[in-house]
Each structure stands twice: as structure tokens, then as C-alpha cells.
A and B are shown apart, each in its own frame.
Chain A
Amino acid sequence: MTTLVEARGLKKHFQASSGLFAGSKKVLRAVDGIDLDITAGETLGLVGESGCGKSTLGRVLLRLHEPTAGTIRYRGEDITGLPAGPLRALRRKMQIIFQDPYASLNPRMTIGSIVGEALQIHGLAPGAEREARVASLLERVGLRPDVMHRYPHEFSGGQRQRVGIARALAVEPEFIVCDEPISALDVSIQAQVVNLLQDLQQELGLTYLFIAHDLTVVEHISTRVAVMYLGNIVELASRDDLYRDPKHPYTRALLSAVPHPVPGGKKERIALRGEIPSPIDPPSGCKFHPRCPEATDVCRTTEPTLVTLGGTRQVSCHLYPGDRPS
């Protein structure tokens, strides 16, 4: 079990200027202090409401966004301040698959040049070899090789998503951030793409950070699951632990919102009050306290820390004081 990606105290703040002549610069805390280890070969599911910073976290880990604070290590090497040259070489190891298959492919390039560009950039498969390589990549993701001469607009969302996957695979990466790769697809297509991702993981030994808001899909694909709320991880546990016995009140509320296929089954819907607060002006103390059904006075004033519970589970909530240090 080697740790592939390791984040410590990771923060990403954006300047949010309000109005034409913004006097006071406001700060949007998209990612606000995250410690996270991703183990080689696993699929770490990352769930949370829209705007909680999941996508930003994924992009910061790949250094597509520069972190405001904290460190990122890849295979033990600190890549936080890596200059452009070595970073470009590192890009071969880490890739990303996007949510919107319509925005993620350049409409003016053929499928072949979209997938082949990765090979070109890194000097893999020169000359005539490239076409053969692109063909085999397309076959691997379930497309006919002759689609390489066609343009993205000729394809459906699911097919485009396959092209996006082929592009990511072209550089033979180890780690792929899947940023809601199926939430823009038809339900009938979703399962195909999830299965494809799983097959590829098996064959190629890939590690995934699987970002989603569909809890059922995350349960299906993940080894471990992290729950994010307003820029922080509030709970992280193995898939079975998290789904069987969620600890954090937010996780419990999320899971209670999943529709169950058995009619008349036990339903204890925990309805969250209110909207997700703005990450520009987050609540004091525990950021979840205004919506938490179990909030107490300490939650309003003191921010909880992520503590280990029962060995492997991590929770950030005053209800759980954590394991006693031995």
C-alpha cells in the first residue's frame, strides 16, 4: 500500500471582488485546509453538494490551479512548487476526465488529433506509429478506430466522454481525477462509462479520485469515500463503513436523501434546512452548524478538527472526540 498522492493543509482561495470598485477584497475559500492521502490502486470517491470545492480540490491536486497554501506530494516528492518543465513531465502521470463532454473536446480538432496531441506533446509514438497508437486507444475505450478522422460534433455525449477518456489514457497515467464524469450523461449511458472506468482500472492499475454527487454511483465504484462540505473534508471512511454507519450528521443527511429502490422500506429522511452557505463568508465554528440538527453551543464557536475514529475512519465533528491517543 503506497501513498500516491498526499495533500497537507491544502488551501485554495479565490479573490472574489464585488462590484466595480471593490473596496474590500473578499476571499472565496473553495478549499480550506485539507489533509488527504490517496493510496495507489484505490478509487477514492469524493462527494458533496455543488459548490463545496470538490472540483477545485481535484484541480489543485493536479496543479491545474495553484494552491494558496499547503503541500502536495506525488509518490513522496513535493510537487507544490515544481517549475514548469518538470511539471510538464509529471503531467504524464496524472490526468483528468471532465464532466461536460461538450466543452472538453476542441470542436476544431479531429478525434485523432485530440487523442494524438498527448502523444505529440510528450514525444511518444512518433510519426506513423502515432496513428496506430491512437487507434488502439480508441479501441480500448470502445470506439471504432476509423472515428479518428471525424469531429466531436458528430458524436453523442457518451461517445465524446469515451474520447475524453482515451485522451487521458494516451500518456499512460497512474492517477486520474474523474471530475463528475457521468453526471452530464444520459442514465442509460452512465453505467457503460462507469463500467469502462472500472475495466480500465483493473487492466491498467489506475488510481482514481472519483468526484460525484450521485451517492449510488460512488458506492458502486469507490474503495473509500470522502465527504466534503464548504471546503473541508467532514468524513472519510471505507465505502462499507461510510454507507453502513455514517457518523457525521452531514453524511447521515446526505445518505438519507438517496432514494431507495425498495418501496415501503425504512425511510428516515433527514431534511437539511436552508441552502449551503457562501464559501465567501462561511459560518463560524463548525461550518455545518447552521444546518446541523445536532448542533450545540460548542459547534457555533469552535471549529472541529479531523480526528481518527476506530482506526481508519476520519470525522470532523464535536460529537466524536476521536480515539484516545495511546
Chain B
Amino acid sequence: MSTLVALLHSRGARRFRKSHLSMVGLVIALLLVVVGLLGPLLLGPDALALHPARDLAAPGRYGPLGNAENGVDLLSALIEGARLSLFVAGLSTLVSATVGVLFGAFSGFVGGRIDALCMRLVDVLLAFPGILLAIYIAAVLPPSVLNVVFALSATGWVGYARLARGQVLEVRRLDFIEAARALGAHPVRILLRHILPNITGPVVVQASFGLSTAILAEAALSFLGLGVPPGEPSWGALLDEGVDHLLVAPHLSIFPGICIFVSVLGFNFLGDGLRDVFDVRSQR
């Protein structure tokens, strides 16, 4: 807890607060999380009800952002979509980061042949464009929200593994690791208490960028019809729907596009800001 307090008062945190872009990123991220969490409360029970008479109505006529196919209110759909997109992005980032960090940290900590083997596996996976592999996995599996999470995590963990291994190699040569060994600490204790807490900074930064990548990847999968099951209004799915009516009802494409664009931008700004906070030079 007091680490957190110290972090909030660090020079990096001050730089974060002074930087407009970082603060914009933070506000966007918080706004998305709040909307995502409170979505059902904001919407009311029949917000996503069908009104065939309002099919593809322009913004302002019935709802502020217009209506989608079968007259579903677009704003309500986007709010529901925020929940879905954030859930998929958040969970896949969490799974990727956890798996990747454990794998990479183990690899770097053990070293030697096992490390070389682990990293070759990572190299092979990195040789595929991540989204291609995710498309393949999503195409093979039946459509469901959790399968999308799986497809994104299956490719996403590799980057964290690389990062964590590099960080472990850097941290493990520091004297306090040697001191722990000299005290007779078990290797598991050294890994959990001395190494992992000291590589969290870069991982959190990476995860922030990872969230924006995952939002984009989920949108791409859903846009291709490989993402969430039909009827689930993720942003990518709404965008996909909009393409069918691009000339008659462009608002159907524009507003989901803006949502994706703004949230990706927000998490990127946040990541940039966090990089300043965790910068080693600002920790002394």
C-alpha cells in the first residue's frame, strides 16, 4: 500500500499529472471502465428492445445517436458494447499478462537450455502475425465470448513472456538477489518476493498498451464475424452491421468507429504516461 503512496508522490507521477495527454488517457480509461461497469444500471431493462418502426433512423429522431437495425437504440447498444469490448479486452490482457509473465520469468530465472528452448517457442509464435493466428483460432472454435478471449490470449501472452524474461535477466544480477541467496532463500521465494515485484512496472505499461491492442483485435474479429456470437453488440459487431448500410445510415459505422478509436487512443496515452511513472530514473 505504501509502495503505491510512494509511487503517487514520485517524480514520474508528477510528470504524469503535468502531461495533458496522459491525463486525457486516464480520463478516457476511467470513463470507459465506469460506463462498462455501470452500463446495465444506466440502460434500464428494455434499452435494447427492438422497435422495427425505427429501423436505421438517423441520429436525433428517436435517440441521440440514432437507431440500428430493427430500431435498436445505438447509444444503448454502444454502452452495452463498451461492457462487452472492455470485458473481452480486459480478461484477455489479464490472461495474457499472467501466463506470459510466469512463462517468461520462469524461463529467464532458470536460464540455460530450458531458457533457450522456451524462447525459441516464443520466437516461433512471434513469427506469425498475432491477428492471423487469432483469426485461425477463432474460426476453428465455436463463436462465444470466452473463445474470443482465448483466441486473443493465445497470441497475446508471447509479448509479455519476452518482456518478463528480459526484465528478470536484468533484475536477477542485482545484489539484493545475491543477498537473498546468501541468506539461504529458496529459489521460489527469490522469484516471488524479489524478482516479480521488481518487474511489475514495465508489465503494467505493456498491459495498458495491450488493452488497446486487444480492443482493436476484438473489433477486428467481430467485424469479420469471427468474434462474439451474433446478437451480442460488441463495437466490432456494430461496425460490421453498419457496413451493410453504409450509404443509407453512415452513423451506424461512424459512432462505433469513434468509440474504438477513442478508447484505443486513451489506453495508448495512458500507457505512455505510465511509462513515465515507472521509469527507473524517476524512482531514486
Does residue B60 face the partner (Cβ distance < 8 Å to A)? Answer: no
Contact A98 B185 (CB under 8 A): no
Does residue B231 face the partner (Cβ distance < 8 Å to A)? Answer: no
CB distance from B71 to the nearest CB of A (A): 55
Q: How many interface contacts (CB-CB < 8 Å) are there between A and B? A: 72
Does residue A189 face the partner (Cβ distance < 8 Å to B)? Answer: no
Contact A108 B182 (CB under 8 A): no
Contact A153 B6 (CB under 8 A): yes
Does residue A117 face the partner (Cβ distance < 8 Å to B)? Answer: yes
Contacts of B44 in A (CB 8 A): none
- In chain B between 168 and 189, which residues have their CB closer than 8 angstroms to a CB of chain A? 174-176, 178-186, 189
CB distance from A161 to the nearest CB of B (A): 12
Contact A151 B182 (CB under 8 A): no
Does residue A107 face the partner (Cβ distance < 8 Å to B)? Answer: yes
One of B88-96, B121-129, B191-199, B234-242 at the interface: B191-199
| Bound complex: CA A108 to CA B197 (Å) | 7
Does residue A226 face the partner (Cβ distance < 8 Å to B)? Answer: no
Contact B284 A153 (CB under 8 A): yes
Does residue A43 face the partner (Cβ distance < 8 Å to B)? Answer: no
A117 touching B184 in the complex, CB below 8 Å, given contacts A104-B175, A106-B176, A167-B179: no
Does residue A38 face the partner (Cβ distance < 8 Å to B)? Answer: no
A91 touching B197 in the complex, CB below 8 Å, given contacts A103-B175, A103-B176, A153-B6: no
Contact B184 A106 (CB under 8 A): no
Contacts of A102 in B (CB 8 A): 284
Chain B interface, number of residues (Cβ within 8 angstroms): 22
Contacts of B283 in A (CB 8 A): 107, 153
Does residue A276 face the partner (Cβ distance < 8 Å to B)? Answer: no
Contact A107 B184 (CB under 8 A): no
| Bound complex: CA A99 to CA B284 (Å) | 18
| Bound complex: CA A64 to CA B184 (Å) | 10
Does residue A11 face the partner (Cβ distance < 8 Å to B)? Answer: no
| Bound complex: CA A122 to CA B189 (Å) | 13
Contact A151 B3 (CB under 8 A): yes
| Bound complex: CA A107 to CA B194 (Å) | 9
Contact A121 B181 (CB under 8 A): no
Interface of chain A: mostly helix, strand, loop or mixed: loop
Contact A151 B179 (CB under 8 A): no
Contact B182 A95 (CB under 8 A): yes
A151 touching B183 in the complex, CB below 8 Å, given contacts A105-B176, A109-B193: no
Does residue A219 face the partner (Cβ distance < 8 Å to B)? Answer: no
Contacts of A92 in B (CB 8 A): 184
Contact with B along A134-157 (1 / 0, CB 8 A): 000000000000000101010000
Contact with B along A75-118 (1 / 0, CB 8 A): 00000000000011101101110111011111111100000011
Contacts of B2 in A (CB 8 A): 110, 149, 151
Contact B3 A91 (CB under 8 A): no
Contacts of A95 in B (CB 8 A): 182-183
Does residue A171 face the partner (Cβ distance < 8 Å to B)? Answer: yes
- Interface size class of chain A, counting residues whose CB lies under 8 Å from the partner chain: 35 or more
Contacts of B194 in A (CB 8 A): 106
Contact A100 B185 (CB under 8 A): no
- Our pick among A98, A109, A118 for the contact of B175 (Cβ within 8 Å) is A98
Contacts of B189 in A (CB 8 A): 121
| Bound complex: CA A91 to CA B175 (Å) | 16
Contacts of B185 in A (CB 8 A): 117, 121
Contacts of B178 in A (CB 8 A): 59, 64, 96, 98
CB distance from B273 to the nearest CB of A (A): 21
Contacts of A108 in B (CB 8 A): 3, 197-198
Contact B183 A118 (CB under 8 A): yes
Q: Look across to chain B and name the residue whose beta carbon is closest to the beta carbon of A85.
A: B184
Contact with A along B193-230 (1 / 0, CB 8 A): 11001100000000000000000000000000000000
Does residue A62 face the partner (Cβ distance < 8 Å to B)? Answer: yes
Contacts of A59 in B (CB 8 A): 178
CB distance from A280 to the nearest CB of B (A): 20
| Bound complex: CA A104 to CA B3 (Å) | 18
Does residue A41 face the partner (Cβ distance < 8 Å to B)? Answer: no
Contact with A along B113-150 (1 / 0, CB 8 A): 00000000000000000000000000000000000000
- Our pick among B174, B176, B181, B186 for the contact of A64 (Cβ within 8 Å) is B181
| Bound complex: CA A95 to CA B6 (Å) | 31
A171 touching B183 in the complex, CB below 8 Å, given contacts A107-B198, A107-B283: yes
Contacts of A98 in B (CB 8 A): 175, 178-179
Which A-B residue pairs are the 7 nearest by beta carbons?
A91-B184, A104-B175, A88-B184, A108-B197, A98-B175, A103-B175, A106-B176
Known: A95-B183, A104-B179; 10 extra A-B contacts, CB below 8 A, are A59-B178, A91-B184, A92-B184, A98-B175, A98-B179, A99-B175, A105-B176, A110-B2, A121-B184, A153-B6
Show 5 residue pairs from A and B whose CB-CB distance is below 8 angstroms, ordered by the A residue. A104-B176, A108-B197, A109-B193, A122-B184, A151-B2
Please give the residue numbers on chain B whose beta carbons come within 8 Å of chain A beta carbons, in ascending order: 2-3, 6, 174-176, 178-186, 189, 193-194, 197-198, 283-284
